[in-house]
Structure 1
Amino acid sequence: MSFSLPPIHRWWTLAVLALTQLVVVLDATIVTIALPQAQQELGLSDVERQWVITAYVLVFGALLLLGGRIADYWGRKRSFMVGMIGFGAASAFGGLAQTGTELIIARGLQGLFAALLAPAALSLLTVTFASGRDRNTAFAVFGIIGGTGAAIGLLLGGALTEFTSWRWCLLVNVVFVIVGMIGGALFLRESKADGDNTYDMWGAITVGLGLGSLVYGFSLAEQGWGNLDTIGFLALGVALLAVFVLIESRVAQPLLPLRIILNRVRGGAFLIQTIVGSVLIGATLYLTFHFQIVLGMEPLVAGLANVAMTVVILIVVPILTKLLPTIGPRILMIVGPLFAAAGLFVLSFITPDGDYVTQVLPALVLLGAGLAAIFVPLQNLALTGVAAHDAGAASATVNAATQIGGSIGLSVFTAIYARAAEDSAASGSIPFATFTDGYSAVFLASAITMVAASLIAVCMIRGTKSELLPQGEQVRTAHVG
C-alpha cells in the first residue's frame, strides 16, 4: 500500500517524520554531555551513569520489533501519536527525577515509547515515498538526520547543560513532542497492513529477553570476559535468540518475517547499520569524555567540538545523493566505512597534551565523510523490496539494528576502555594518560569494526543499480540478491 498525496503534502509529511527521527536519535546522546552534572547532583555511581544511556537504547532496541508490528496492525498514524504522547510524558518524568533510579526508569520508558514511535514513522515514510527520485531524496534526508542527530544531541545537550540544567536535556523533548503531534494531526494519513493480523507474543518475549541478556552480559565484561556471570548471560542471550529464530520460522504471523533479513542485500544493510550504531552511540561517548575531562572543555564547547563532523555530513550528503543514481549504492557502502575507519584510526593517536585542531579535527572530517557515504543509501537498501504488509517490521529492524548495535557497542567499548585504562595505570601512567590510553583503545576497536562493515558490503551488497535503487513500484517489490 502506498499513498497518493499532493507533492507539497508529501514533503510536509517528510518534515514531520524527520522531526521524529531527530528526537529519537538525539535522545541517545543528548544526555551524554549532561551526565557528569547529573551524576554529581543525583549521586550516581559509574555503573548507574552508564545505564542512563544503556536503559534507553536497550529497551528501545529490544521492543522495536513488537512496536513495528503494532504499527502495522493497529495503525501507523495511531501508533505514531500514542508513541509521541508517551515519549513526552517519559521525558517530563526524567527531567523531574530526584534519584538515579527514577532517571534510569524514565530513560527506559522513553525507549519503550520510542520503540512504538520510530517504526511507525519510518514505515509511514516507506509507504508515502514508494519509489523513484523522491524516495531517494526522502531517505537521504532521513539518513542525514540519523547521522547528524547524535551530534546535534551533543551540541544541544551542551548548550542546555551549560546555560540551564541537565534536566532540560530531557524536558526539551516536550517541545519537540508538541510540534510533532500538531504536524502529525495535520499531515499524516492512517495506514495499516491488510489481512489477518495476530501478534507473535512468544517471539516478542524471546527476542526481548535474548537481547537484554546479551547486552547485560556484554556490560559485565568490564569485570572480565571469563567471569561466570558474563559467560552465563551471553550464552543465555544467544540461546534465547536462537529460540526466537525457530519461533519466527514456524508461526503464521511472525514478529520478524525471516524473509526480511534473509535477503542478502537487506541482511547486509542491517549488519552495517548495527556496526554504525555501535560507533555513533558507543565510541562518541568517549570522544565527549575526552573533550570534557582531558581537554577541559565546558559542556557547550564540547558540543560544538562535534559540529565539524556534522558540517561535513551536511555538505557531502547532498552531493552523494545526486551522484547515487549514477554510481549506485554499492561503491558508497564499501568506501564509506573505510573513510570512517580512517578517521577513527587517527583518533586512536590522541595524547593528553595534544590539541583539538591537530589530533581531533582531521579525524572528524574523515569520519563525517565516511558516515555521509553510508547514510545516503543505507536505509533505502534496508527497505528495498519490502512489501507494504511488512513495512513496520522492516522499519523496526532498521532502527533495532542501530539501537542494539549502540547498546552492545557501549558495553563492549566500556570493557575495552576499562582494561586499557587499568593496564595503563598499572604501568605508572599519569591520570590523563590513563584516560587517553583507554579512549585510544576504544577508537582503534571502532576502526576495526568499520573495516568489517566495508567487507560486509563487498560480500553482501550486490546487484545492478536498478535492483538496488528501484525506480518504480514493480521493481521495488522484486527480489534482490
Structure 2
Amino acid sequence: MDRFPVDTTDSGGLRTGRAAFATLAAVHTTLLMAMMVIAVALPAVQREFELGNTGIALVNSAYPVSFCGLLLLGGRLGDLVGWRKAFMVGTAVFAVGCAATALAPGFIALLVARFCQGCGAAVAAPAALALLRGVFPRRDQYVRAIAVWGGLPMVGGAIGLLTAGPIVNVVSWRWLFLVPTLIALAAVAIAPKLLPDLSPSERQRLDWLGGALVTTGLALVCYGLVGSGERGWSASVVVTVACGAGLLAAFLFSQTRRADPLLPLSFFASPRRLAGLCGLAAGATGVFSLSFFLPLYFQQTHDYSPALTSAAFVPYSLAMFATSAFTGRLVSSFGARTVTVAGLLTGAAGLLLLATMDDQQSYLGTMLAGMIVFPAGALAVFAGATVAALEDVPETHAGVSGGLLNTAMEFGPTVGFAALVAVAGSWTTRLQGSGTPAHSAIPLGYGAALTVAAGVFLVIALACWLLLRPSARRR
C-alpha cells in the first residue's frame, strides 16, 4: 500500500495520524470486505436455503441497497452529532448485522441481517471519510491519503474473495462474518482514544423522508431489475421498477424544496466532481458484478470448489495489490484526469477479455489475462476519481460529501449490478429459447453483461477526459 505522510498534530485525543488512519482504513476495508465475501459462498447459500438465481442476487444486493440508500442520511447524521460518534455507532450496528448474518436461520432473516449491515456501513463510511480530513489537514497530505483511500474497497474485496473459499470448504459460509464482527468491535473500542472528536461548525436537520424515499426507491428498482432476468418484463416487474423510479424522482424533487437537502444539487455544478462520481460508480459496478458472475461461473459451469474459486482470484488480487503500491504517487505525478481515464480504458479491456467466457473456456488464456488487467484498471479509477470528486468540498459539508462519494460507489453494487443481472438473465433466456442448452447459455449471458459494462467504461472514460480538464483544476 502506498506510504502516506503523517500529521502528528494532537487534536481532540488524536495520538498520531498513522494510528488514526489505520483504524479508519481497517473499518473502511472491512465494510467492503463484508460486502464481497459472500460472493464465493453464494452457491452454498443457494443450496442451504433452496434459492433460485433471483434469491441469491437479492442476498448479494441487500447489503449494498441499504448502504447506498442511507449513505446520504448517514453523512448528514455525522454532520449533526459529530463524526467520531457517528463512526462508532455505525460500526457497532454493522457488527450486529454481521453477527446476525452468521446466525440467520432462514432466507428472510438473512436478508434482514444483510440490510442491517448496510445500515451501519451507511453511517460509518461517510463519518470515516470526514474524520480523514481532520487527520490530514494539509491539502497535499489529504490528496495523497484519499488516493490511497480510494483503493481500499478493492483491497477489502480481494481479501474477501481470497479467504472465503477455504473457510466455506473447511467450516461454513457463516464463519465468513466472524472476522468483520471482531474488527468492527475492536474499532469501536479504540476509537475514543485514537480518533479526533470533530464536528462541523454548522449543524443541520436530518431529512428522514428523503432517506426513506431514496432507500425504498433503490430497493424497488433493484428488485424489479433482478427479477426481470427470470420473469421477463412482466406487468409486475414493470410496475415495481416504475414505482421505484417514481420514488427516486420524488426524492430529487424534495431536495429542491429543502433549505438543507440531503443531496445538495450544487455538488453537481462542478464538472470535475461530477466526472469523479461517474468514474467511481462505473468502477464499483464492474468490481461488484465480477464478484457475482465469476464465482458462479467457476462453480456452476466448471464445478470449481469454493477453495479453488478463491485460488482463481489470486492473480486478480496480486494485480490489485501491485497497483495499490503506487496509485497515490501516480495521482500526485500525473493528475486525477490521466489516472482515471487510463484506468477506465484498462478496465474496459479487462472486461472484454472476461466477456469471452463460455462453457468450454479454459482459465488460462483470456480469462487469466482479464483477471490481471481489470483490477489494475479499476484501482486506478478509484484512486483518480476519488481525488477529483473530493476536491474543494467545504468542511461544513465533509460528512455529506463523504456520503455522496460512497453513494456513487454503492450505486454500482445496486442499480448498476441489478441492470447487468437483468442483461445476463434476458440474454440467457433468449439463448435458451433458441435451443441453446442452459450450461452453455448461462456463461454467455454473463459475458453479454460484461460486454455492456465495458461499453459503459468507455463512455465514462470519454466523459472524464472532457470534464476533468487541467484548466478546471483549482491549484
Alignment of 1:426 onto 2:433: yes
Distance verdict in 2 for CA 1:136–1:301, change over 3 Å: farther
User: 1:22 deviation in Å?
Assistant: 1.0
Mapped contact 1:56–1:108 kept (Cα < 8 A)? yes
Alignment of 1:306 onto 2:313: yes
Letter of the 2:358 counterpart? T
Alignment of 1:438 onto 2:445: yes
Distance verdict in 2 for CA 1:220–1:191, change over 3 Å: same
> Residue by residue, what CA displacement relative to the aligned partner does 1:333-356 show, whole Å, maximum 9, x if unpaired?
112111111111111112322221
**Mapped partners of 1:124, 1:179: distance in 2:** 18
Match of 1:101 among 94, 102, 108: 108
Alignment match, 1:184 = 191
Distance verdict in 2 for CA 1:350–1:102, change over 3 Å: same
Alignment of 1:155 onto 2:165: no
Alignment match, 1:405 = 412
Distance verdict in 2 for CA 1:202–1:428, change over 3 Å: closer
Alignment match, 1:356 = 363
**Mapped partners of 1:196, 1:423: distance in 2:** 53
The 10-residue stretch of structure 1 (218-227 or 112-121) with the greater mean CA deviation from structure 2? 218-227
User: 1:196 deviation in Å?
Assistant: 4.3
Alignment of 1:246 onto 2:253: yes
Letter of the 1:69 counterpart? R
> Residue by residue, what CA displacement relative to the aligned partner does 1:48-83 show, whole Å, maximum 9, x if unpaired?
222111111101111111010001111111111111
Percent of residue pairs bearing the same amino acid type: 27
**Mapped partners of 2:471, 2:325: distance in 1:** 22
* Aligned-partner SS, 1:270: helix
Mapped contact 2:83–2:197 kept (Cα < 8 A)? yes
Alignment of 1:344 onto 2:378: no
Unpaired segments ≥5 residues, structure 2: 1-6
User: 1:226 deviation in Å?
Assistant: 4.4
Alignment match, 2:226 = 219
Alignment of 1:395 onto 2:402: yes
Matches within 5 A, 1:5-404: 5=10, 9-222=16-229, 226-404=233-411
Letter of the 2:61 counterpart? T
**Mapped partners of 1:425, 1:45: distance in 2:** 17
User: 1:384 deviation in Å?
Assistant: 0.9
**Mapped partners of 1:297, 1:404: distance in 2:** 30
Letter of the 2:27 counterpart? T
Mapped contact 2:37–2:157 kept (Cα < 8 A)? yes
**Mapped partners of 1:162, 1:183: distance in 2:** 33
Matches within 5 A, 1:437-456: 437-456=444-463
**Mapped partners of 1:440, 1:196: distance in 2:** 48
Mapped contact 2:49–2:106 kept (Cα < 8 A)? yes
Mapped contact 1:294–1:352 kept (Cα < 8 A)? yes
TM-score by length of 1: 0.91
Mapped contact 1:151–1:303 kept (Cα < 8 A)? no
Distance verdict in 2 for CA 1:45–1:294, change over 3 Å: closer
Letter of the 2:275 counterpart? G
Distance verdict in 2 for CA 1:63–1:14, change over 3 Å: same
User: 1:372 deviation in Å?
Assistant: 2.5
Distance verdict in 2 for CA 1:308–1:237, change over 3 Å: same
Distance verdict in 2 for CA 1:216–1:248, change over 3 Å: same
TM-score by length of 2: 0.92
Letter of the 1:247 counterpart? S
Mapped contact 1:225–1:231 kept (Cα < 8 A)? no
> Residue by residue, what CA displacement relative to the aligned partner does 1:216-236 show, whole Å, maximum 9, x if unpaired?
332233256643333333333
User: 1:464 deviation in Å?
Assistant: 4.0
CA RMSD of aligned residues (A): 2.2
* Aligned-partner SS, 1:350: coil
**Mapped partners of 2:398, 2:184: distance in 1:** 24
> Residue by residue, what CA displacement relative to the aligned partner does 1:129-157 show, whole Å, maximum 9, x if unpaired?
23433223311321221122222211122
Distance verdict in 2 for CA 1:322–1:231, change over 3 Å: same
Distance verdict in 2 for CA 1:320–1:78, change over 3 Å: closer
Distance verdict in 2 for CA 1:196–1:178, change over 3 Å: closer
Mapped contact 1:43–1:100 kept (Cα < 8 A)? no
Alignment match, 1:475 = none
User: 1:104 deviation in Å?
Assistant: 0.9
Mapped contact 2:217–2:248 kept (Cα < 8 A)? yes
The 10-residue stretch of structure 1 (252-261 or 428-437) with the greater mean CA deviation from structure 2? 428-437
* Aligned-partner SS, 1:296: coil
> Residue by residue, what CA displacement relative to the aligned partner does 1:280-329 show, whole Å, maximum 9, x if unpaired?
11233111111212232221221121221222222223334223233211
* Aligned-partner SS, 1:44: coil
Distance verdict in 2 for CA 1:383–1:300, change over 3 Å: same
Mapped contact 2:39–2:291 kept (Cα < 8 A)? no
Distance verdict in 2 for CA 1:357–1:186, change over 3 Å: farther
**Mapped partners of 2:325, 2:472: distance in 1:** 19
**Mapped partners of 1:278, 1:245: distance in 2:** 22
User: 1:255 deviation in Å?
Assistant: 1.2
The number of residue pairs the alignment matches comes to: 467
**Mapped partners of 1:236, 1:146: distance in 2:** 31
